[in-house]
């Protein structure tokens, strides 16, 4: 159960540059970290003595920003004599799908070690990742497919920029698309199987079958806008979004069917997208899958999901040492 979740958004700062400047981001992390921890404790009506564990993101991400978090977490854990665990940010996103603001029937306390529905197929769609994976019964993560170029969120952000919408582009484009016709512009969709990253194979599944590619779609939008100066922004947004959503839904459900699971998890910043949420919901209902998506506030980056993944990690493998280091290039498979 989440007692408080405080997010220090840097969106307004990044908007000035049209994206994230690593140095600027790290500086603002440094300024924000202590006030955010203070606010989180106050909102949760807890004190330092009530804490059991310090969980911190160790990767993937920008090294400078990760280092600020890790240093802060080490200081708190050391000063309070608490165990410390490093969390894979992407695993955090997956745990967001089982977060709740209400306590289930078992009374106050922490959840069991791993409340993820297994076996399941999980789609992690964020600003830098599009990972389709299998969470097998026995634990761990097996990546079935990933993006060969742009991540889904990145495609939303880039197309939003082409359409002169604000930053971050995903939510703006989502809003604009609600006023448009998704069938107005027939942007191309990838229906064939894409080459796997390294021809890898999952459990009887060819990884490439579940790979994604969004940069061609983004180029199609750019070309269309160059050729149609009077194009209706809402129609272009809705048509682009429709292709992304169709692709994500189709490939995720194909992976679920091929791996014989009954549970589907959709998470990460793009899982806040209204069209993706309703299309996934509809498709899962029609095909008999149980869908798990985070409440809206836990789709985009937050600390509650890191706490949930950290607690599971701690139950499974215990605490990390003081030599815990950042892992900017961490993948889901390297640390499930
Ligand atoms: O998970 P997240 O907060 O950060 C990363 O780990 O990357 O995801 C941020 C991404 C951004 O690209 C943002 O534009 C996208 O999620 N996003 C959305 C929506 N809300 C956030 N994309 C489409 N529709 C939305 N409603
Ligand atoms: Zn994220």
pLDDT digits (tens, 9 = 90+) for 13-40: 777 777 778 888 888 888 889 999 999 9
pLDDT (tens digit per residue) in 121-130: 999 999 999 9
Q: In the prediction, which pLDDT does 198 show?
A: 45
Average pLDDT score over the chain: 90
Cβ of residue 92 lying under 6 Å from some atom of ligand 1: no
Q: Which atom of ligand 1 is nearest to the CA of 129?
A: 7
H or E element at residue 130: strand 130-135
**Ligand 1 within 6 A of CB of 157:** yes
- % of the chain with per-residue pLDDT over 90: 75
Ligand that lies nearest to the alpha carbon of residue 20, given by its number in the listed order? 1
Task: Please tell me the least confidently modeled range out of 10-24, 102-116, 213-227, 235-249.
Answer: 102-116
pLDDT at 228 over 80: yes
Q: Please tell me the predicted confidence (pLDDT) of residue 304.
A: 95
Residue 131 Cβ < 6 Å to ligand 1: no
State residue 168's pLDDT score.
84
Specify the ligand 1 atom closest to the Cα of 89.
Answer: 6
pLDDT value for 107: 42
DSSP per-residue string spanning 278-289:
HHHHHHHHHHTP
Cα(93) to ligand 2 centroid in Å equals 6
pLDDT given at position 159: 97
Query: Averaged over 183-210, what is the pLDDT?
Result: 66
**pLDDT tens digit string along 314-327?**
999 999 999 999 99
Q: What is the pLDDT of residue 15?
A: 76
- Show the tokens assigned to 325: 């280091």
Ligand 1 atom having least distance to the Cα of 151: 12
Q: What are the structural domains, with CATH classification, of the chain?
A: 11-94+300-335 (3.30.420.40), 114-293 (3.30.420.40)
- Whether residue 243 is predicted with pLDDT greater than 50 in this model: the reply is yes
In terms of pLDDT, which residue wins out, 335 or 76? 76
CA–centroid distance, 183 to ligand 2, in Å, is: 30
Mean pLDDT calculated for residue range 58-68 = 94
Using alpha carbons, select from 100, 104, 4, 88 the residue that is nearest to residue 50: 4
Residue with the larger pLDDT of the pair 239 and 101: 239
pLDDT value of position 191? 66
Average pLDDT over residues 243-256: 96
Rounded to the nearest whole angstrom, what is the distance from the C-alpha of residue 198 to the centroid of ligand 1? 27
Contacts of 130 (CB under 8 A, 6+ apart): 123, 124, 146, 147, 151, 152, 212, 214, 248
Confidence of residue 201 (pLDDT cuts 50, 70, 90): very low
Structure tokens at 81: 């004599």
* DSSP element (H, E) containing 292: strand 290-292
Is residue 215 a contact partner of residue 149, using CB atoms and an 8 Å limit? yes
How confident is residue 199, by pLDDT bands cut at 50, 70 and 90? very low
Which residue, chain included where needed, has tokens 């003081």?
322
**Mean pLDDT, residues 284-300:** 96
């Amino acid at each position: 159960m989440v007692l408080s979740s405080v997010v220090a958004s840097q969106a307004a700062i990044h908007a000035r540059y049209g994206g994230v400047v690593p140095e600027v981001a790290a500086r603002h992390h440094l300024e924000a970290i202590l006030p955010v921890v203070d606010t989180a404790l106050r909102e949760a009506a807890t004190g330092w003595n009530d804490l059991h564990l310090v969980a911190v993101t160790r990767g993937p991400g920008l090294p400078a920003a990760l280092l600020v978090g890790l240093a802060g977490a080490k200081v708190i854990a050391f000063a309070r004599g608490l165990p410390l665990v490093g969390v894979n940010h992407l695993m955090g996103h997956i745990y967001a799908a089982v977060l709740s603001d209400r306590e289930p029937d078992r009374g106050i306390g922490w959840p069991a070690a791993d409340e993820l529905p297994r076996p399941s197929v999980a789609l992690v769609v964020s600003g830098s990742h599009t990972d389709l994976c299998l969470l097998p019964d026995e634990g761990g993560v097996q990546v079935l497919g990933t993006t060969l170029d742009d991540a889904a969120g990145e495609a939303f952000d880039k197309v939003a920029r082409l359409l002169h919408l604000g930053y971050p582009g995903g939510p703006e484009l989502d809003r604009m698309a609600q006023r448009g016709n998704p069938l107005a512009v027939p942007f191309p969709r990838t229906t064939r199987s894409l080459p796997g990253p390294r021809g890898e194979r999952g459990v009887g599944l060819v990884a490439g079958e579940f790979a994604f590619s969004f940069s061609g779609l983004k180029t199609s939008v750019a070309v269309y806008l160059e050729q149609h100066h009077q194009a209706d922004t809402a129609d272009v947004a809705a048509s682009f979004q429709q292709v992304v959503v169709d692709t994500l839904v189709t490939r995720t459900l194909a992976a679920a069917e091929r791996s014989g699971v009954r549970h589907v998890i959709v998470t990460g910043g793009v899982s806040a997208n209204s069209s993706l949420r309703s299309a996934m919901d509809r498709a899962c209902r029609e095909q008999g899958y149980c869908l798990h998506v985070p409440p809206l506030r836990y789709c985009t980056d937050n600390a509650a999901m890191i706490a949930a993944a950290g607690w599971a990690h701690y139950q499974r493998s215990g605490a990390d040492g003081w030599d815990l280091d950042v892992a900017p290039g961490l993948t889901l498979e390297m640390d499930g």
